[in-house]
């Protein structure tokens, strides 16, 4: 069993203290202390010092062995993680979010179009009925008010009001609600959405499989206008060159 360092140091201290005691006895005239005793004690001190060194080396080696074992274990964990990791759940979830956002955009656009159509007719009729600064709502006689300046809305007097909620507000509300209590993620999302389009390409490139999943099909590409195509290209989402037909 390796010598404990604390024990070895205690033995060395004891040997030195014994030698000091013998030396002091000689100084005080004690003739019972022999030269051999002093020599033996000095040899004992030297031996005890060697044992301290041995204990220190053993402790250092034990620490090195422990560090090596722990580093090896972490290395194994890293290799296992890299070998077993899959971004498939992330990619599938991102695709699901994209689909949900597109559904939200469709629903919001369709509703806003319906409201805008009725609001435009209502505002035009309000003008025909004799709008003026002094009488801004002659349409009230017919039980309605309407405006197409944001927020686009119509009012059925004594019944209620319908307002077109902007898509951005709906999307922001959804994301903020989904990330409640996760301010860091919410701030990062806000920064990414307001950053240059290339940020999308940067993030997707760091998630294996995501860039391919986000790539637009030729059919989706054809449905985009020039501005949207430019943004998609900057996002790294344009179809492969051989897939683009126009």
Q: How far is residue 181's CA from residue 171's CA, in Å, rounded to a whole number?
A: 18
86, with CB counted inside 10 A (0-12, 13-18, 19+), is exposed
* Residue 160: pLDDT over 90: yes
Edge-first strand listing for the sheet containing 160-163:
144-147, 153-156, 160-163
Residue 107 half-sphere exposure, CB side, CA atoms within 13 Å? 9
* Residue 246: pLDDT over 50: no
Confidence of residue 131 (pLDDT cuts 50, 70, 90): very high
Question: Helix (H, G, I), strand (E, B), or coil: what is residue 87?
Answer: coil
The DSSP 8-state label assigned to residue 244 in this structure reads -
Q: Cβ(238)–Cβ(221) under 8 Å?
A: yes
Confidence of residue 194 (pLDDT cuts 50, 70, 90): confident
Average pLDDT, the chain: 93
* Count of beta carbons in the 10 Å neighbourhood of residue 118: 17
Q: How far is residue 51's CA from residue 62's CA, in Å, rounded to a whole number?
A: 16
The DSSP 8-state label assigned to residue 1 in this structure reads -
- Residue 140: the pLDDT is 96
Token match 């005793």: residue? Answer: 37
Q: Using alpha carbons, list the distances in angstroms from residue 24 to 16, 45, 133.
A: 12, 17, 116
Q: Cβ(169)–Cβ(207) under 8 Å?
A: no
Report DSSP letters for 33-66, one per residue.
Answer: S-HHHHHHHHHHHHHHHHHHHHHHHHHHHHHHHH
- Residue 116: the pLDDT is 97
Element (H, E) at 144: strand 144-147
Q: How far is residue 121's CA from residue 115's CA, in Å, rounded to a whole number?
A: 10
Confidence of residue 176 (pLDDT cuts 50, 70, 90): very high
Token match 């000091």: residue? Answer: 20
Q: How far is residue 246's CA from residue 242's CA, in Å, rounded to a whole number?
A: 11
């Amino acid at each position: 069993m390796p010598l404990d360092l604390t024990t070895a140091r205690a033995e060395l201290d004891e040997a030195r203290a014994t030698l000091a005691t013998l030396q002091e006895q000689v100084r005080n005239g004690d003739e019972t202390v022999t030269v051999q005793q002093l020599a033996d004690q000095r040899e004992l001190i030297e031996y005890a010092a060697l044992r301290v060194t041995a204990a220190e080396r053993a402790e250092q080696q034990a620490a090195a062995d422990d560090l090596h074992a722990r580093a090896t274990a972490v290395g194994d964990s890293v290799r296992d993680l890299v070998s077993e990791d899959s971004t498939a759940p992330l990619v599938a979830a991102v695709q699901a979010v994209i689909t949900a956002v597109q559904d939200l955009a469709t629903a919001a656009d369709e509703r806003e179009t319906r409201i805008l159509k009725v609001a435009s007719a209502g505002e035009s009729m309000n003008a025909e009925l004799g709008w003026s600064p002094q009488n801004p709502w002659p349409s009230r006689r017919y039980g309605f008010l309407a405006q197409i300046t944001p927020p686009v809305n119509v009012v059925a007097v004594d019944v209620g009001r319908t307002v077109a909620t902007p898509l951005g507000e709906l999307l922001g509300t959804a994301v903020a609600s989904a990330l409640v209590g996760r301010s860091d993620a919410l701030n990062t999302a806000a920064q990414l959405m307001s950053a240059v389009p290339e940020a999308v390409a940067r993030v997707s490139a760091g998630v294996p499989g995501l860039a391919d999943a986000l790539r637009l099909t030729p059919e989706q590409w054809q449905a985009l206008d020039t501005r949207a195509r430019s943004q998609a290209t900057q996002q790294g989402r344009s179809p492969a060159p051989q897939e683009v037909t126009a």
